[in-house]
Amino acid sequence: MLARPGTWVALVAVAALIFSGAVALAMFRPGVGAPTGALASPTPPAVAQASPTGSGRPSAGPGTPSPQVTPTPEPTQPSTDKVGPRHSVDPKRLKDYVWPLHNAWITSKFGPRNFGQFLVIDGVGYHDGLDIATHCGDKVYAAHDGRVLVADRTFDKFIGYRGHPEDIYNRLQRLGRVNALAIAVVIDDGNGYRSLYMHLVEATVEPGQYVRAGDQIGKEGMTGAATGCHLHYSLIRMDGEWQDVLPRLNKYGYPLLIREHVDPLDVLPWGDQYAPKRLRDQIYPPSPTPTPASPPPPTTSPSPTPTGLPGATPTASPSPHPR
């Protein structure tokens, strides 16, 4: 029996409804038929979703302060008052040194001495350099290559004191005795050592000048505390140990610590043609006439310039400058 036309319309409508529901269910099954870039499942509401910012950092939610970044401090190196970083070689390995005076007499060595001491090493007073002598006005030469730091009486601030060596000059200025200081040259070798040339009658170089070993830098004299014309030569290791200065010199303005002084005889070449011909430990300059067995006593007449080292003899008068 054929269905009536109204019945066919109703059947078609029901079939269409069933088909559309099946299609809708298929479209919303997870992972099936989802558009590109759509999320398969919703984000839980409890988790805030970060979005990129111009700085490359996630943006904080509303009302949340931005975290402060504290820079990490640089590590500090431990300091020591005894010795700093050492870059200089052992003094006995120094090369290419020459004698600052030619064929001189050694009148006083580096080492223990019972007068005119400057350093205290192991509780013993030391002469801090090498005294050599020829004749007044003879040429003084650079013992090594280097840069001239000073060429006048203000040399103490260039030889490694720990403190304020300017107090030396301030005191002498108050006394009106600045000329009591020796004329000196200090040369830096660029490798941790400095040479000091004292008691010159004249310096023939200028600060900043570069000199070679054997170049003339001055003339032998007796400026400062000296009993005669000679050269006091000191070699200072500027990154070496601290050494004690004779405590009684502090009243003259000298700081109590200074960088390591080394024995020049460990460095200067004994095989050199200009090496000293003989060794004398007495303090007097050589003379063409026969030398007395002992040094002559110092004169007691007053002089505007000090001519004796303090303590050189029991009768020596003290000097406002001890070297």
Residue 292 structure tokens: 């007395």
pLDDT per position as a tens digit, 43-56: 444 444 444 444 44
The yes-or-no verdict on residue 13 having pLDDT over 60 is no
Identify the pLDDT of residue 188.
Answer: 98
The yes-or-no verdict on residue 194 having pLDDT over 80 is yes
Query: Based on the number of CB atoms within 10 Å of its own CB, is 62 exposed (0-12), middle (13-18) or buried (19 or more)?
Result: exposed
Average pLDDT over residues 140-158: 97
Cα atoms in the 13 Å half-sphere on the side-chain side of 201? 12
d(CA 54, CA 218): 70
Q: Please, are residues 197 and 294 in contact by the beta-carbon 8 Å criterion?
A: no
Query: Based on the number of CB atoms within 10 Å of its own CB, is 8 exposed (0-12), middle (13-18) or buried (19 or more)?
Result: exposed
pLDDT per position as a tens digit, 237-254: 999 999 999 999 999 999
Domains belonging to the chain, first-starting first, are: 96-279 (2.70.70.10)
Identify the pLDDT of residue 300.
Answer: 39
Q: Band of the pLDDT at 87, cuts 50, 70, 90?
A: confident
Query: Based on the number of CB atoms within 10 Å of its own CB, is 314 exposed (0-12), middle (13-18) or buried (19 or more)?
Result: exposed
State residue 233 phi and psi, 5-degree precision. -115, 120
Please tell me which residue, 194 or 302, carries the higher pLDDT value. Answer: 194
The yes-or-no verdict on residue 256 having pLDDT over 70 is yes
The lowest-confidence range among 14-23, 34-43, 303-312 is 303-312
Q: 274: closest CA among 197, 214, 215, 230?
A: 214
Identify the pLDDT of residue 231.
Answer: 98
Average pLDDT over the chain, rounded to an integer: 74
Q: Band of the pLDDT at 68, cuts 50, 70, 90?
A: low
pLDDT per position as a tens digit, 287-322: 444 444 444 444 433 333 333 333 333 333 334 455
Q: How far apart are the first and last CA of the chain?
A: 145
Q: 120: closest CA among 265, 256, 300?
A: 256
